Structure 1
């Protein structure tokens, strides 16, 4: 039976420019006929991955990396094994797997790989070190990519392709990947993340700034530099959903690792803050509300709670009004579309989430533990 783990957050950011467009302005969007602040899903996905890594919530061997420097990473592992000048052999092994490299030794595009996959390539090259001399032309003499792929030992090619199985990397399993050259090793994401939008109207603002030359002479007046930067301040609604069964499938049916991944994702989702222009604005503002709901029927994005923008009231913060609107909208929509078995748990610093609508948690660790426990019970783990 399907099980969707949804995350609904209300998060107010001080003046900031967390996610810029091609002109350097904060991203925005029209929603409900009004201009809203926006932070892209890609931006928050990266922030979530970095938060999980920084807080060591997932064992290193089950993490992933997005990089073009695959050859360099494998070289470092082989050097630790006492294998030096390994680049031609590495390239031969990667070509055998179907991964193309540019002349600078980097991959043609960013690869999203699990650490176990990278370690596996290092072990493969080490194991077939002498055989790969043939694929490199002997004594490290480099052949063309086409020749290297064709001349790679058959056993190496078969093993190399088998290595690209996701490596049980939790972030790869959550966010998926696409390898243009190897569609057979693509992985559909178990997690979908919405673009965060403000619950209210926003207007861009401009910070005109000047900088003074510290070494300026007495007769040198005026600024050493003049410029401006655009910014905004907004209360955001953030939404993500994880298909628990799909996550376990992507992790090769490792249910225990899937539960660890969900616990880590819960913490990282709440702690994730984009890095854009933080040296300028330091907008390190954590959510006022973090709600998690388990649904059996289908995911429900509650952004339409804010189709009509929330308007400020003298005695209530925008974040608190947004939490109240979110709860009201969920009650209406769930009454029509859910099966009556939705289970909520939440952290609420606003005091506006209704009593009796789910189970309040004292802190983030407790909320993450609740998610892990409830999903385990529903999946029979």
Structure 2
């Protein structure tokens, strides 16, 4: 990548079940011959997208919706413009299903009577607004008894699907299976988080008692088990800065979106089973790097041999030393060094990068380097 920003994070979570598989168990993987805790990249990306919204890091107009309920979203916007509800639904369905060479955006009713698309679509707010405006402009066409959409009008609808200058679409990309020419390649690659050490599966046996049952009726009224683990995770992201700028088609928006992403990447946490475990643990170690003409460098192999705690060092401290040692070896062997900044809250002494004392300082240091590398005014 010509302009590359990478993030390396070590984050120790208390007992939790942040990302479940189809059986309700915490996701895991075999790595280096040992079972590791795992959080999927999809889970991490969703947590980041939700953090954008909850923390108001990105204006709503520059965010996207991933949904099967596009008909309802457009319907509600049309009704807000004073249109009849039944006609609004009919018009929304007609517009959506007309896109694609073979009317491939199918809409069907689910068991609750909702009109839904066959698969999740990932559209920016501006794209949805554009589709809505075209329907308003061509109201008679889309509400006619027999809807006939011209090739010119189809082209107008499809032209709306340009990414919508949505930060999350630009970062994580999208695939529209029925309209592949409107796919967007991701600027950001997110690795699955893996524990730096081997994990054991643990089970919480729980009981629940009926508060209103008679006093002479002893015993539990509900029993079950919840699986959980506790792990220090290594997280990694590689971001192509030029691709992000190209996807958003706006340098200032790219910079605002990038700063929001850097903060969300550090602070966002998966929401799985948090009401039961409250594993709200911030990272103990964050390394940002900005490099030019460099290849991405995932440091997961630092933990191919599982880290083990001892009386002198915690898992996180031992993981910091492993990660930095791997960084130094790869740097000596392959070069391609750039600028690096480290926020290290552990007792392990950092040997790489420039130490910083806060997330604000970490983000601002990286943003200054990004502006310089892209030839922007600092």
TM-score by length of 2: 0.93
2:194 counterpart SS class: strand
Structure 1 segment 160-239 matched on structure 2, within 5 A: 160-239=157-236
* Structure 1 residues without counterparts, runs of 5 or longer: 138-147
Over residues 62-111 of structure 1, what are the superposed CA-to-partner deviations in whole Å (9 max), with x where a residue is unaligned? 10111111111112222222222211111111122233212342111111
For the pair 1:251 / 2:261, whether they are aligned, the reply is no
Over residues 138-176 of structure 1, what are the superposed CA-to-partner deviations in whole Å (9 max), with x where a residue is unaligned? xxxxxxxxxx5xx11343212101000010101001111
Query: Structure 1 residue aligned with 2:289, among 290, 293, 310?
Result: 293
The aligned residue for residue 281 of structure 1 is: 277
The aligned residue for residue 97 of structure 2 is: 95
Q: Per-residue deviation at 1:42?
A: 0.8
Aligned residues: 365
CA distance in 2, matches of 1:347, 1:107: 44
For the pair 1:121 / 2:131, whether they are aligned, the reply is yes
Over residues 321-349 of structure 1, what are the superposed CA-to-partner deviations in whole Å (9 max), with x where a residue is unaligned? 11111111101111212323x11112111
Q: 1:258 to 1:207 in 2, by over 3 A?
A: same
Q: Per-residue deviation at 1:353?
A: 4.5
CA distance in 2, matches of 1:125, 1:362: 52
The aligned residue for residue 77 of structure 1 is: 77
CA distance in 2, matches of 1:300, 1:79: 50
CA distance in 2, matches of 1:129, 1:153: 14
The aligned residue for residue 141 of structure 2 is: 131
Structure 1 segment 54-65 matched on structure 2, within 5 A: 54-65=54-65
Q: Per-residue deviation at 1:235?
A: 0.5
CA distance in 2, matches of 1:9, 1:352: 15
Q: Per-residue deviation at 1:366?
A: 2.4
Q: Per-residue deviation at 1:308?
A: 1.0
The aligned residue for residue 106 of structure 1 is: 116
1:8 counterpart SS class: strand
* Structure 2 residues without counterparts, runs of 5 or longer: none
Asked whether the 8 Å contact 2:344–2:350 carries over to 1, the reply is: no
CA distance in 1, matches of 2:322, 2:18: 25
2:56 counterpart SS class: coil
The aligned residue for residue 145 of structure 1 is: none
The 4+ residue runs of structure 1 with deviation greater than 3 A are none
The aligned residue for residue 365 of structure 2 is: 370
2:139 counterpart SS class: coil
For the pair 1:11 / 2:6, whether they are aligned, the reply is no
CA distance in 2, matches of 1:370, 1:73: 40
- After superposition, the CA RMSD in angstroms is 1.4
1:106 counterpart SS class: strand
TM-score by length of 1: 0.93
Q: Please identify, of 98-107 and 311-320, the stretch whose mean Cα deviation from structure 2 is larger.
A: 98-107
Over residues 31-88 of structure 1, what are the superposed CA-to-partner deviations in whole Å (9 max), with x where a residue is unaligned? 1111111111111111111112111111111101111111111122222222222111
Q: Per-residue deviation at 1:184?
A: 0.4
